[in-house]
Amino acid sequence: DAGVIQSPRHEVTEMGQEVTLRCKPISGHDYLFWYRQTMMRGLELLIYFNNNVPIDDSGMPEDRFSAKMPNASFSTLKIQPSEPRDSAVYFCASSTGLAGAETQYFGPGTRLLVL
Amino acid sequence: SQKIEQNSEALNIQEGKTATLTCNYTNYSPAYLQWYRQDPGRGPVFLLLIRENEKEKRKERLKVTFDTTLKQSLFHITASQPADSATYLCALSSDSSYKLIFGSGTRLLVRP
């Protein structure tokens, strides 16, 4: 298996622009997680899906952020409009989903810079 | 609020020595504790999971302990190698939640 795939790997955009990050989870994994990592706040969970349904979005910072999972093999995280404070590395992870006891497999991340 | 603390200062040790990293937590009663390794420019990679009723877990040169009384986990790498140099993250979760709460990580540098 190719593992979790994320695109793009790097994104540079200007404040106010829309940014879309993409993720393909490992085949057969029922859970998909979106994280954000910064030096100040570490690795934070933004939202997670089970069987394509959003379960907990309490970590989504504000309405500018939205996430979708139209099918089992694809998810997007959108920021509109983007702001400089959104600059971070965004990770997607997937798992087979035993609560807490199942390991999560992370993608390589998307490094986002908002100017 | 829940808080996880890992030593923010890098741990610098000589090759062949044992590296010991600490993860402390407050205001939380996790059922599971996981350790991940993260290399620069890459996503975290799972290493070990330990349950609250387990005191110790081993995997090759790695050993994890979990003390729910002290609210602490120790992560040991024996016979350390320069290739072990990375950031190590601990993560906690409860029985009922799929959410992992991560510590900020400790950077390990193993000198040849």
Residue-wise DSSP of B68-100:
TTTTEEEEEESS--GGG-EEEEEEEE-TT----
Residues of B in contact with A96 (CB under 8 A): none
pLDDT digits (tens, 9 = 90+) for B88-108: 999 998 877 778 899 999 999
Minimal CA separation from A105 to chain B, in Å? 7
Could you tell me if B105 lies within 8 Å of chain A, comparing CB atoms?
yes
B9 against B16, higher pLDDT: B16
Smallest Cβ distance to B49: which of A42, A43, A103? A103
Could you tell me if B1 lies within 8 Å of chain A, comparing CB atoms?
no
pLDDT digits (tens, 9 = 90+) for A45-93: 999 999 999 999 999 988 999 999 999 999 999 999 999 999 999 999 9
Q: What is the pLDDT of residue B7?
A: 84
| A-B contacts at Cβ under 8 angstroms | 64
Q: What is the pLDDT of residue A89?
A: 98
Minimal CA separation from B33 to chain A, in Å? 8
Smallest Cβ distance to A99: which of B49, B89, B98? B98
Cα–Cα distance between B54 and B109 in angstroms, integer? 29
SS (H, E, C) chain A: CCCCEEECCEEEECCCCCEEEEEECCCCCCEEEEEEEECCCEEEEEEEEECCEEEECCCCCCCCEEEEEEECCEEEEEECCCCHHHCEEEEEEEECCCCCCCCCEECCCEEEEEC
- Mean pLDDT for B69-96 is 94
Q: What is the pLDDT of residue A1?
A: 65
Q: How confident is the model at residue A100 (pLDDT cuts 50, 70, 90)?
A: low
In 10 A of CB A41, how many CB atoms? Answer: 10
